[in-house]
Chain A
């Protein structure tokens, strides 16, 4: 499809978003990233049935943790798209990049 998305987005591949763990996201922030988003399959279409639903709940939980520590819950998000929706993938990458740009660099990276 030759779609382009912002080069600042680093992709971490997982077998299923059900593998996304609260600690995994926190560690990413500790390492200094400005934001994290989870790109899962459409709800109801998880190959492992509920992986993406669980991921969403974990992302919500991390939002609360990031609020607590003062980084702001907006730095983490969950998006759903199907494997064939490359357009949507690129669109969310741009949306998230824009959102993070407005929030500025992570205060952890000082």
Chain B
């Protein structure tokens, strides 16, 4: 899933500036699961705004609404009837959602309430961890299912580096060394001979370095 962090309340207030009619817009997908932008978090942010403005003695209108997704236009269209009543849409979706809402409501100010951070997994309730950087040419088959692009601090294709110690990465002793994990898994799965193969220099054009990406499936088009 896509994982993010809520922006600081102070930053959100600064971005809102003098605008007081706010539509706080949540998303029911990834950001709900990672506890950053679903219905509950919309409720919390809206409540914070109301408490703050009440305290300041201001008049305001805060509406809470959560869409099934903010990355599909049919859902975004669902706020067409009332979006105009607000000065600003404060989106709690990932960056993709914020952009798609803003594309759909060109005359409206759409602000992000979330810092989108990574593609990851739930380690335990309340803890998420990065797993993939969307490089566009997956090499997990070569690395026993552990991604060195996303999980090695240096994105080394042939590791570990000299900083690997006791299974931990040199960046901090809480972070597993991805290459230690790779070697462990190669051993566990009886593929240690893979480790002898030097991975070639990666062609990064399939990743972000090749510019914005797009995917088309003609057969799915209407």
Contact = CB atoms under 8 A, between A and B. Distances in A.
Contacts, number: 42
B43 A65 contact: no
29 contacts: A22-B40, A22-B44, A23-B40, A23-B47, A26-B47, A26-B48, A27-B47, A29-B47, A29-B51, A30-B47, A30-B50, A30-B54, A65-B9, A65-B44, A65-B48, A68-B8, A68-B9, A68-B48, A69-B9, A69-B51, A69-B52, A69-B55, A70-B52, A70-B55, A71-B55, A108-B55, A110-B54, A110-B55, A110-B57
Interface in A22-54: 22-23, 26-27, 29-30
Interface string A52-89: 00000000000001101111000000000000000000
Contacts of A69: 9, 48, 51-52, 55
A6 interface: no
Which one of B10, B43, B48 has the highest number of Cβ atoms from chain A below 10 Å of its Cβ? Answer: B48
Given A68-B8, A68-B9, A30 B51 contact: yes
A107 interface: yes
Nearest to B50: A30
Interface of A: prevailing SS: helix
**Chain B contact patch, size range:** 10 to 19
Interface of A: 22-23, 26-27, 29-30, 65-66, 68-71, 107-108, 110
Contacts of A23: 40, 43-44, 47
A28 to B, nearest CB: 10
Contacts of A108: 51, 54-55
Contacts of B8: 68
Contacts of B43: 23, 26
Interface in B79-110: none
Interface in B1-43: 8-10, 40, 43
B194 to A, nearest CB: 43
B7 to A, nearest CB: 11
